[in-house]
Structures are given as structure tokens and as C-alpha cells.
Chain A
């Protein structure tokens, strides 16, 4: 934050007002990074330091399992790693009480991730497929119950044997798995769905996925897809599929879907965000057109600037950087009074405790 020495804890009232469907709570402001662990904070830290690159396959309160990202068509296999919740907490512990939160945040991101990358073999976890890519874009897939060679060029006409295809495992459970394929040169995306026994495998080009989904072709693979609502399944970034109607639903461009696909931040994709009331809906309510809100809170950029002593002519950027259940990280940037920049800050809105929601004001340098 610019022009604002550390001034300790301060309280702001009326800036944030958290409203659930049947109660009101005032949001407390605190300057600085959260002072203690919480599940949502831990998920956020895992997302930022690991999940932004590698593919989270499953998480529980005990540990996280990832498929390592394959960034090149030259990568030949899917590798896995895991870390425990305790290991993650130890990893980001330096964030607490850091005098330089921005620097610490960046250093933890840049640091060699040996502490969090504990390799696991597929045999250790029954539902993790062993997948290798051979020449000619052939995949050898081995699961606990079956083994098969899949020629991508045969599965879909759009992929040829010579295409530079990189592949990443994006979803896996006891029912099956989903691979994201991408042509490195043309950037065309494909999705491969497969059941664990490999009895059913299908490849779709991204642009055909909606039509195929609505035609019911993805029904055999619904057990693979995460449940994100009463009727909805996670399909791909920004999209879900209604398991009852097979309707593919996309989030409006102005809105933001949470990382777990379960919530929508209405108008969360506007930059700058509108001042005032902010609404979060469950995905079921959002797509059915209900106005029932999961959470409502108010933002006053002016009051935040005043409390941070920014001499500003107004906000120029207010953007959602991270959104998951009960946890939102914003970036706010303010213009100078007549020229330049007055300052910028990240705001962590922690809605986990409905009785005592808190907004942490700390510049993580996350633009």
C-alpha cells in the first residue's frame, strides 16, 4: 500500500454489511494478513501457490492430490503429487506476521515447491490412471481394472498423428477421469472422458462439447463429473451441465464462478466492480433465475480509500482475483488526485464466520 504506514488494527463500520437470507452482520475491517489458519484461507493458499499451475484432483481436510501440469507436447506422462493440509499450513506460515506480506507472498510462489510436491504413484491411489503419450498421439492408459491404447487420431478427426498435443488430467475419481487436450500450435482444446474400466472413452472438441452434452452423449460420464449443486455437474471452466435436462449452462460474462463451481458472484467480472451491494448465489439458484442469495455484502471504495489515507480522485480498478466459498480476494487500485496512482491494495473478504465476517486489507501485490 502506498502512502500508508502500518497503523495497526482499526475498525470500520458500515463499510461492509454482510446479509444472509435472514440476518444482518457487520463486517469488521482489519489491516494486514489474517492472523490465523482457517479452512478457506488454506484452500486459497493452496490455490495460489500450487493450484494455479497444477491440477487439483481432490481435496479433503487432510490432504490434497494433484496431477502435475504438462506444459509441453513433449511431456509424455501424467505425474501425481500430494501434500497434507499440515504441510500446506507450514508452507504458508511465514505469511502470518510478515512485515512484508507482498514480498513473502511472492517468495512463496517463486520458491522451489519440494515441500509440497510429494510424488505419489498411481498404485497408491486406486482411481489415478497411469497415462502415457506415445508417438503418433497414442495414449496408453492403465487403470486398476483395465488397460488400453487409445489413438487420438482415430478417436477424433480433428487430431492428426503429427499434431503437437499436450495433455493434462483435470478430473479423476473412482468412476473415471477427464483429460484436457490442447493443440499447442492452434490452441484448440479437446476433452477426453473415460470410465475407470475403459469400456467407454470419448473425445470431444471444445466447440462441440455443448452440443454433445445437450444431445445426452455425456450421460455415461456423469458419475465422473463433480456435483456442484442439486442438479448440476462441473463440466469445464465457467460451465456446468444439468444432469436432469442435459442442458449446458454458461456463466454470464459479467459474473464469476467460484473455484469449486458451486457459487456465482453476480457482476463479479465487472472491472471496476460496482460500489455498494454485492451478491453471491448458489449455482442452482443462479441458473434457475431465483433471486435467492447465499450472501450479500456492501463495498465502499471511498471509505476504504479514506481509511488508508489515499488521496485519490477515485477507484480505477476493482477486480475479483479469487473467489471460492466464503472467501473472496479483491484487487483495488486508486487514481491519484491529479496525476498518477494514489495506491492499491488487496482485500480478503472472509465470510466463513457468518456472525463475525472480516475483511483483511493487505497489499499482496496481486494485480
Chain B
């Protein structure tokens, strides 16, 4: 410490306040900003550890505190000036001392002004992080979609006014056929099932007894089950590309639901996902928390997964039986580790995602950058079911801990376990009797 004692006496208090502000805020970005500037204050260190679950950052409030410090310093300078002026014949030492105090105060005030600028930059970074999180291009496209479709008001489509919608999302190397059978079994008489195939063609059914009765859209609209709008819609969805990244699925699904008139304030969506479909469902919930009522998954690899790691490490030249890690879907994640190159094209897919990112990483990121979205996620009913073979360790492909999303903490409201049959239990989870019963229960709430 090289400042004048009179200045240090004030800086003791400022240092204490600075550490308190940084700790209360809980943001590492803010801490970095203070640590960057504080050497210029030249008194002590910003040395708090950050263990907060929540980030509370109010740039204006922080800058108000710093403004208070600046005013304190200005008051001190005035006071020292008055004292200096009271000396009748100041000695060279008096002059030097006053000049030293004044220079210290000026330096500290300069540092505090720079600190305020850094706080403003942190605020700007918070806003940018939200956009980057969703990728700039996709955010821009979503904004355009919002503009054209006016999502704040009801979006008109064939199925507008249906308030209860269940969306079923399959996993990797698969499609929605099993979920179609499970949805049918879980559905109530009179419910409507929409089966969207990978080629984009839709089939429409009304549940009659144990069988789905198929209709053209025109004929469907003539049925009371459609006219009444009371029944639930079960939307069994095939991703456009089998192994596409969850963000791609979320964006495509958004578009399709909007076309059907199912993204509006009245409609509440219950999401069901198997395997990577659990991640896809979670992604949709993160992107549209206002429209999602629940997320229910089984067999979901919320942690990184050995299959993803191994498959992603294999190049197209070598090939790997039974999986297609090279499958391209036109999406590139902003996380460079969540990418691979095939045929000279950089892209992201299920395998890059499962090998590089735990869902907990994304959630922590979301917590830091969009606390209000995180709060909305906490309000969604999220159930993570795990299939297992008997010892409750794993289902042949995914550990029970990963399926339960243990690293997601209290974001998961309920964790369930089901013993599933088959050599690789993972393959039979969608059709497991208890899971189908769970689907039915969720749809009743």
C-alpha cells in the first residue's frame, strides 16, 4: 500500500464494500471486472470466492455504490484542501503532502470511473451471452419468426384452441414409431394423434377404443372430437434428420407447432422424450419455458455418454457399425468442442453433443446469463425416469445417474426408476408398461 494514510482510511471501507458487492452478486464476470481495475486503486485485493446458486446482478445498483465512493473521495479532497488552506505559511512538506493526497484521490477516482465502465461492459456481456447462447443467427431467425407470426397473440393454425398438447420425442438412430404405440396406449378415447413422419408428411388419428382411426385433415375437421377442442393432441414427432442436434430439433419443432397453431398463451405443452429425445425435450423447454408445462424423460443421457464419445471419435472413413455419427443436419453449435468435420463441413449432431456437453453445463450457463429463464424452468414439472436392468445401475447404454439428471440438482422434480426387460433395456424403455402409465398420468394433470 502506497497511498497516503488519510486516503487508506477511506479505502479500508471501500475494499470491504467491494468484496461484499462481488460476493453478493455471485458473478465471475463482475469479479473479473473488479480484479482488473482494483490494482489501480492500489489498496488490498478483491479476493472473495463465489458459491452462490443464483446470480443477482444489477449494474445500476453496483454503479451507485461506486458513485458513492467517488463522492466520498471528492469530499475527502475538499476536506484536505480546506485543511491545507488553513495553514498560514505551508512548508514544502505541507505542500507535498497535500499534493500527494490530492493525486492519490484523483487516481482512485479515475480508477472508480474505469470500474464503472467495466461494470457497464459486464452488463453488456450478460445480454450478449443470452444471444450467443442461442446462436446469433438462430436468435435473429427466431426474432423474424416472432415478428411474422406475432407469438404474443394466438397463432392461428389448424389446431388453434386446443389447449392440451403432448409432444413425443424419440432418441438417436430412431423415429417415433414406438412412441406412437405408447401415446396410443396412454391416450383417452377421443384424443387426437398427429404422427409427423421424417419426410414431413402428417397422419391424423382419433383414438377409438384400442385402435387409432385414421382421417384425412378434411374428414378430421368434421368430427366432434376436433370441433369440441376438448381433447388432447398427441404429437408424435420424427426429427427431420435422425441424429440432429437438440437445438436443431427445438427450432424445427417450434416452427411446426406454430404452423399448427399450438404455440400460444392458452396451449400448454407436455414433453416426453426417450434417450437423446430427453435432451431435445429439455432444449425446447429452455427455449420456450412459457409454453411448457412438463418434461418427462426416460433413458435420457443428461451427462456425457461413452457411446457419444466413441462414435464421435470415429471418422467417416473408418465407419462404425450400427450408428451414424457422420450424419449431417446443417447445425453448428457455438461451442467449438460440440462440433465435428465430415466431408470438409463443420457441424454438430447428437454424438458431438453427447460427447462434449453435459446438460448441467448448459443449465449453469443459462443460470448465469438468463436467471429469469432459469426460474421459469424451475417452475416446469420435470420428471426424469431411469430404466435399469435390475441392479439399478444402468439400462445397457446409459447410467441411472445420468438418466436421473443427478447433476441437474433440484431442477428435476421427480426421479423414478423402472426395471426394463431385454438384453439392452434401453431399447424397450419407450414401451415399458410403467412408463406408459406415467405418460397417462402426466397427461391427466
Contact = CB atoms under 8 A, between A and B. Distances in A.
Interface of A is mostly: loop
A103 B198 CA distance: 12
B178 A316 contact: yes
A148 interface: no
28 contacts: A52-B214, A53-B213, A71-B219, A71-B223, A71-B224, A72-B227, A73-B224, A103-B199, A112-B218, A184-B228, A187-B189, A187-B190, A271-B181, A314-B422, A316-B427, A316-B431, A317-B177, A317-B181, A336-B174, A339-B174, A339-B397, A339-B427, A340-B173, A340-B174, A340-B322, A340-B323, A365-B197, A367-B177
Contacts of B203: 106
Given A311-B322, A316-B178, A339-B322, A71 B427 contact: no
Contacts of A267: none
Contacts of B423: 313
A344 interface: yes
A312 B219 CA distance: 38
Interface of B: 171-175, 177-178, 180-181, 189-190, 195, 197, 199, 201, 203, 213-219, 222-224, 227-228, 242, 275, 307, 321-323, 397, 422-424, 426-428, 431
Nearest to B180: A367
B322 A344 contact: no
A311 B189 CA distance: 37
A338 interface: yes
Nearest to A54: B219
Nearest to B199: A103
B266 to A, nearest CB: 21
A175 to B, nearest CB: 28
Nearest to A344: B177
A337 B174 CA distance: 12
A333 B174 CA distance: 11
Interface residues of A, number: 34
Contact of A336 (B216, B222, B427): B427
A338 B201 CA distance: 28
B213 A52 contact: yes
Contacts of B307: 338-339
A278 to B, nearest CB: 20
Contacts of B171: 339-340
A120 B431 CA distance: 46
A110 interface: yes
A262 interface: no
A207 to B, nearest CB: 14
A163 interface: no
A112 B219 CA distance: 10
A259 to B, nearest CB: 13
B224 A72 contact: yes
A101 to B, nearest CB: 13
B427 A335 contact: yes
B227 A109 contact: no
A324 B172 CA distance: 37
Nearest to B222: A71
B225 to A, nearest CB: 8
Contact of B223 (A72, A333, A340): A72
A341 interface: yes
Contact of A339 (B173, B216, B228): B173
Contacts of B323: 338-340
B177 A166 contact: no
Contacts of A52: 213-214
A344 B174 CA distance: 11
A52 B216 CA distance: 11
A53 B206 CA distance: 11
A109 B205 CA distance: 13
Nearest to A164: B224
B322 A337 contact: yes
Nearest to A238: B209
Which of A112, A271, A335 counts the most B-chain CB atoms under 10 A from its CB?
A: A335
Given A71-B219, A316-B427, A340-B172, 11 more contacts: A72-B224, A103-B201, A187-B189, A338-B397, A338-B424, A339-B174, A339-B323, A339-B426, A340-B322, A344-B177, A367-B177
B51 to A, nearest CB: 39
A75 B227 CA distance: 13
A166 B177 CA distance: 32
Contact of A341 (B173, B227, B321): B173
Given A53-B215, A313-B427, A339-B427, A106 B201 contact: yes
Contacts of B426: 339
A71 B219 CA distance: 8
B428 A316 contact: yes
A342 B354 CA distance: 21
B311 to A, nearest CB: 9
B173 A336 contact: yes
A128 B397 CA distance: 61
Interface in A49-107: 52-53, 69, 71-75, 103, 106
A82 to B, nearest CB: 18
Nearest to B216: A110
A344 B197 CA distance: 13
A97 to B, nearest CB: 20
Contacts of B216: 109-110
A69 B223 CA distance: 10
Contacts of A337: 321-322
Interface in A265-314: 271, 311, 313-314
Contacts of A106: 201, 203
Contacts of B180: 367
Nearest to A331: B177
Nearest to B423: A313
A109 B217 CA distance: 11
A316 B427 CA distance: 9
A333 B175 CA distance: 11
Contacts of B201: 103, 106
A339 B323 CA distance: 8
A53 B224 CA distance: 14
A75 B423 CA distance: 52
